[in-house]
Amino acid sequence: MRRRLAAALIVPALMLTAACGSGDESDKGSSSAEPSQSSEVPKPVDSADPMPTVAGDAGKKPEITVPKGDPSGKFVVKTLTGGSGPEVQKDDLVVVKYTGKVWKSGKELSPGSYDQGGQPLVVTAGSKTILPMFSDAVVGRKVGSRVVVVAPPAAAFGAQGKQELGVGPTDNLVFVLDIDQKMAKKAEGTQAPIPSELPQVKADKEEAAEIRIPKNEPPKELVSKVLIEGKGAEVKSGQTVYMQYSGAAWKINEGKDKATLFDTSWKTGAPFSTVIGQGQVIEGWDKGLVGKKVGDRVLLVIPPEQAYKDQDKGAELPANSTLVFVVDIVGAM
């Protein structure tokens, strides 16, 4: 699977990006976007000399002109157009559309959000798990704002650069960010009762769900039950869906009050994203989530044939496991 620019700009969520996905080994292992700067990240300032110029209307792809000469070396975040929406606070989830260039070469980093095949970023404001040129740049800005960012290596990919994007170890980057909207962190509402023969779920906090497995055998067919009904748009095949999830294997003889989670997106707090309905995740996710709505909390019970079949994935995911997921759908684009 070819790594998109967006995937290189944010820490991808977790084991499930590989375990539930269908990508090759190049998508596994350590995150390509985890901030690894050896030097301290500088505090952003709102001006420096020289500065790039930006043309074009907010909401459309901007034209970025990088001046001749060397950048100031400062981490600059400047509001070009103020928004009228709510102010972004630390730990808010915000949807950001971006266009980027390398200062020295003028090379455009593609695909950006306005290019064919591009997509927005979902940024946890102020998070240490997201590159500062995004996470620090959105804090204190209002939804609807257009912001220009000049990021030295310490606010971007650090001293190692990002070779596959053509970013060297000393390169400064220029981004124009359109802060599009805030995104809910989890499903909101009263959770519906769950039949006793299905796993019981407690997920009232912004943290991994508690899952209790009943003592009966698991169902043979896929279960996709809405626990909290959202008010957003219906999720369609081919969309990029953003989710908070917790996952466990159905083990009736484990002798534990709570199931052991094999993975959860709440490890970082950032939602997991994937294209849904197109075979990029296990079949049970594709079939169980297409047609649901943004804002839904969904209980998925996935039989082995729609999960990992006879593959042994380790102590928490033995061969022929039935999988249980609690999924909060927080966005779809």
Question: What is the second-level CATH architecture of the domain 200-332?
Answer: Roll (3.10)
Residue 248 · residue 213 · CB < 8 Å: yes
In this structure, the chain runs to a length of 333
> CA 145 → CA 86, 98, 162, 177, 332, distances in Å?
10, 12, 28, 8, 21
Question: What is the second-level CATH architecture of the domain 35-183?
Answer: Roll (3.10)
Six-digit token string for 147? 């912001």
Residue 3 has pLDDT above 90, yes or no: no
Residue, of 197 and 333, whose pLDDT is higher: 197
> CA 51 → CA 62, 64, 74, 186, distances in Å?
15, 10, 11, 39
What distance in Å separates the CA atoms of residue 37 and residue 283, rounded to the nearest whole number?
38
For the chain, give every domain's residue range.
35-183, 200-332
- pLDDT at position 7 is 58
Per-residue pLDDT tens digits for 71-129: 999 999 999 999 999 999 999 999 999 999 999 999 999 899 999 888 888 899 998 87
With cut-offs at 50, 70 and 90, classify the pLDDT of residue 21. Answer: very low
Residue, of 76 and 22, whose pLDDT is higher: 76
Among 21-25, 129-133, 223-227, the range with the most confident prediction by mean pLDDT is 223-227
Q: Do the domains 35-183 and 200-332 sit in the same CATH topology, yes or no? A: yes
Look up residue 85 and give its amino acid: G
